[in-house]
Amino acid sequence: MAIQINTHGDVLRHTARRCGLSAGLTIVMTLTTLLLILGTDFDATVRVGYVIGFSLCVATAISSMLSGALSYRSALVMRELTLTRIELARISQTDQLTGLLNRRGFDEAAVPALSAARDAGVSAVIFMCDIDHFKSINDRFGHEAGDKVLVGMAEVLRRFARKDGVLVARYGGEEFAALMIGISSDQAEQYAEEIRKACAAKEILIGEASERVTISIGFTVSRGDVDLAKMMRIADQALYTAKRRGRDRVVQADRRSLEIA
């Protein structure tokens, strides 16, 4: 049965049981070894030095074996705890539907990436992508269809991310975010257009029919001391500009947005 340790009292009781077990086994095994080697004649004449030396050797050997066995078991438990913490950290940073990073995972990965870009003096680009008319998809076909659309768009973004080393996340709802380091404005726009076209070409099976959806993308390019929150805000403004202009398009944040954000 698995040991439940929930309180400090449980810790103390568990420790006391382990100490008692170790001490008890040491006594029993030492006594058994002495009886087997020295015999059961308690009136026999044996040199005191021999008994002391032999007892110390036996007690030390047995204590070491018991300590090693208990330490090995504790190490296995610690290993399981470490793996569990790693898995929990991964789950806490991953969107369970799409398998991409979630907002927390993206922010935690993007901050050091932006810092490294700033130290290296290279540009950083934040993309914000939003599925067009997503609410109407849910209203017409149901939330299961909406989930299929999200997974389909995530597949397209994941493919680009693997090819070009892009940090990609489902940032919330039907919004996706991406970060690229060391590219120019023209390269960023070309990359965003490739994503937009790939998403528009993606066929998503809903019921017995295939549907196509489009996305709008806003992005901002920064070189210098600009923090993540500011860049996300600017890219989001560019995204909504793309929405206002008719959707299914790419818009780069203008210089004025960079100055007033």
Task: Based on the residue annotation, tell me whether 174 is a catalytic residue of this protein.
Answer: yes
Residue 79 tokens read as 């290993």
Residue 160 tokens read as 């680009």
List of residues 6+ apart from 169 with CB closer than 8 A: 95, 100, 101, 102, 103, 105, 106, 176, 177, 178
| Set 87, 174, 175, 208: catalytic member | 174
Report the catalytic residues: 174
